[in-house]
């Protein structure tokens, strides 16, 4: 996930973050900790989120075995890039126990509630009067 410019100050410097990221990826075996998609591989993906693991065959979104999709359901090949998620959503807490290596899809699902709240806050802040009950 890209880091918002307003949040960059709370993250470590680039070299330090890269060192932390490398440790988290190594600990995870260079695969998503949720669904086991491998880092930096082209992965066939079907319409329903089923994906192909070159070692173990077709998998569902949790990484469990799945039957092969039909040819018309196969969507594309996607380049997997793992991201680092903060389990407690606090970007200042960079302890190894708080960090997880997740593919983009799993990271978005993990942060869904946070994204919904941020979107609501952004929409409210763009309104002329804001929320009259915020002051209470």
**pLDDT tens profile 70-111:** 665 556 677 788 999 999 988 889 999 999 999 888 888 888
* Same domain assignment for residues 117 and 97: yes
Q: What's the confidence (pLDDT) of residue 37?
A: 84
Lowest mean pLDDT among 84-88, 114-118, 129-133: 129-133
* Same domain assignment for residues 51 and 62: yes
- For 44, list phi and psi in degrees, rounded to 5: -65, 135
Residues 6+ apart with CB under 8 A from 43: 37, 51, 52, 53, 77, 78, 79, 80
* Same domain assignment for residues 36 and 56: no
User: Which range marks the domain in which residue 55 is found?
Assistant: 42-76
Predicted confidence (pLDDT) at residue 48 exceeds the cutoff of 60: yes
| Alpha carbons 19 and 117: distance in angstroms, whole number | 31
Is the pTM value of this prediction over 0.85?
Answer: no
In a domain, 136, yes or no: no
In a domain, 117, yes or no: yes
């Amino acid at each position: 996930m890209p880091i918002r410019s307003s949040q960059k100050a709370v993250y470590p410097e680039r070299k330090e973050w890269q060192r932390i990221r490398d440790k988290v990826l190594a600990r995870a075996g260079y695969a998503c900790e949720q669904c086991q998609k491998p880092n930096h591989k082209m992965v066939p993906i079907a319409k329903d989120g089923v994906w192909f693991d070159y070692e173990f065959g077709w998998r569902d979104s949790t990484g469990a075995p799945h039957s092969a999709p039909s040819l018309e359901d196969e969507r594309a090949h996607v380049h997997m890039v793992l991201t680092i998620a903060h389990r407690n959503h606090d970007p200042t807490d960079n302890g190894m126990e708080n960090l997880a290596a997740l593919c983009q899809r799993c990271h978005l699902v993990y942060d869904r509630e946070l994204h919904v709240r941020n979107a609501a806050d952004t929409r409210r802040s763009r309104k002329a009067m804001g929320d009259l009950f915020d002051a209470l």
